[in-house]
Amino acid sequence: MKRHHLLLAFAASLVFTPNMGWAQNYPAKPIRMIVPFPAGGATDILARALSQKLGEKIGQTVVVENRPGAGGTIGADAASRSAADGYTLLLATSSTHSIGPAINPKIPYNAEADFTPIAYVASSPNVVVVPNTLPVKTMHEFIDYARKNPGKLNYASSGNGTIVHLTTEYFKAQSDTFILHIPYRGTALAIPDLVSGKVDVLFDSFVTGMPHVKDGKLRALAVTSLKRTALAPDMPTVAEVLPGFESVTWFGLYGPKNLPADLTAKVNQAVNAALADSDVKERFARLGAEPTGGTPQAFAAMVKADNTKWKKIIAERKISVE
C-alpha cells in the first residue's frame, strides 16, 4: 500500500509540476508556420525568408502553410485552435491582430487571449506620395496647402478599413485637414489616377510606392515610421511635422494560447538569431521591411498599443467596413 501511494504521488508530480522542460527535445519534427494570406504576397515572401533561416537556427524544417481568406482571419483562427506544442506557429500582421479586431467585432478569435506572443519579426512603413504637379515638396507644405484648400483635395486608399484608409484618417485627425476619400480595390489601381493628378495623395506601402518615386512619376514627401527608416535614411518622417505620428504594417510570430514558456523562449531566441542574419535583412529590405526582434513581452505591449490606437481612430472617425 505504501509503495502504491508513492507511485501515485510520483505520477501526480509528473502531471502537475510546472515548467516540465518541453524545450529539451523540441523540435523533434517539422514545424508548421501558418501564413494567413495567399502565396506570392508580401507576407508569404517574408515568411519564407524567415522560415528558411529559422529552420537553420532551431535545428528543424519550418514549413510555410498558406491559409488565406477573410483578410487573414481564416488562417489566424486555424492557428489559434492548434495544439500548444510549438509545432504550429502563425505569422500574423497588423491586419489580423491590430486593425482587424478593432474594426470587425465578428472575428472568431480573441487576438490577445487566444494566442501566445513569441516575437516581433518586422515592420514596414507607408510612404506619402503625391503627383509631381501638386505644388508641394515637403510634408509641412502639404499640410499647409490642405488646410488652405479644405475639401478640394482627395486621397486614395486600398478600400474601407484597410491600413491605407486608417492611416490617412489618422493623418487628417492629427493635421486638422479635410481631404476626401476615394476607395480603390488596391492601391495599384489608384496609381494611374495619382500620376495624372486626379488623386492628390496616397499613403502607399513602401515597397509598392517607392518604385514610382524612383521612376520620377510621383513625389515622396515622408514615411510613416516614427523614426527615419534605414530603407530610405534621407527621407523625413511625418512625425517630424506631427510629433508622435506613426503607422506601420507589422509582422509577428505567435503560437496558440498556453504555449509553454520554455518553448516560447526557445523559438524567440531562434527568431532573433535569424533576424540578425545579413541574408534575411537583405531579403526583408527588398520587401520594404525592417527586422525588429525583441522579447515576447515587448511584442505583446506593441500590439496592444497599436490596437488601442486604431480603436480610437476608428471610433472618432466613425469608420466601418460595411
CATH number at residue 83: 3.40.190.150
Range of the domain at 153: 125-240
What pLDDT was estimated at residue 321?
Answer: 77
Domains held by the chain: number: 2
Alpha-carbon Rg for the chain in angstroms: 22
pLDDT, tens digit, for every residue of 147-177?
A: 999 999 999 999 999 999 999 999 999 999 9
* Residue pointed to by grid coordinates 510555410: 64
Q: Does residue 83 belong to any structural domain of this protein?
A: yes
Q: Does residue 279 belong to any structural domain of this protein?
A: yes
Same domain, 133 and 217: yes
The stretch 66-75 carries a mean pLDDT of 94
CA pair distance 201, 218, nearest whole angstrom: 10
What pLDDT was estimated at residue 52?
Answer: 96
Q: Does residue 69 belong to any structural domain of this protein?
A: yes
**3 pLDDT more than 90:** no
pTM: predicted TM-score of the whole model, two decimal places: 0.88
Same domain, 113 and 129: no
DSSP for 59-80, please give it. TS-EEEEE---GGGHHHHHHHH
For 35, 295, 310, the CA distances from 127, given in Å and listed in that order, are 25, 28, 19
- CATH classification of the domain holding 159: 3.40.190.10
The sign of the CA dihedral 107, 112, 115, 121 is positive
The stretch 107-127 carries a mean pLDDT of 97
Q: Output the average pLDDT for the chain.
A: 93
The sign of the CA dihedral 245, 247, 251, 254 is positive
Same domain, 236 and 133: yes
Same domain, 115 and 257: yes
**13 pLDDT more than 50:** no
Q: Does residue 63 belong to any structural domain of this protein?
A: yes
Same domain, 166 and 220: yes
What pLDDT was estimated at residue 139?
Answer: 98
Same domain, 79 and 170: no
CA pair distance 57, 69, nearest whole angstrom: 30
What pLDDT was estimated at residue 22?
Answer: 63
Q: Identify which of 139, 93, 95 has the alpha carbon closest to the alpha carbon of residue 289.
A: 93
Lowest mean pLDDT among 22-36, 131-145, 196-210, 263-277: 22-36
For 105, 106, 107, 162, the CA distances from 110, given in Å and listed in that order, are 10, 10, 8, 20
DSSP for 75-137, please give it. HHHHHHTS-SSSSEEEEEEHIIIIIHHHH-TT-SS-TTTTEEEEEEEEEEEEEEEEETTSS--
The stretch 51-78 carries a mean pLDDT of 96
* Residue pointed to by grid coordinates 521612376: 215
8 Å CB contact between 135 and 181: no
What pLDDT was estimated at residue 19?
Answer: 45
**4 pLDDT more than 60:** no
Q: Does residue 22 belong to any structural domain of this protein?
A: no
8 Å CB contact between 284 and 124: no
What pLDDT was estimated at residue 14?
Answer: 44
What pLDDT was estimated at residue 24?
Answer: 79
Q: Does residue 2 belong to any structural domain of this protein?
A: no
Joined together, the cell numbers standing for residue 137 give 515638396
Name the pLDDT band for 49 (thresholds 50, 70, 90): very high
Residue 48: is it exposed, middle or buried by C-beta count within 10 angstroms (0-12/13-18/19+)? Answer: middle
Which of 200, 223, 240 represents a domain boundary (last residue)? 240
**257 pLDDT more than 60:** yes
Same domain, 144 and 236: yes
Furthest CA-CA distance within the chain: 91
What pLDDT was estimated at residue 11?
Answer: 45
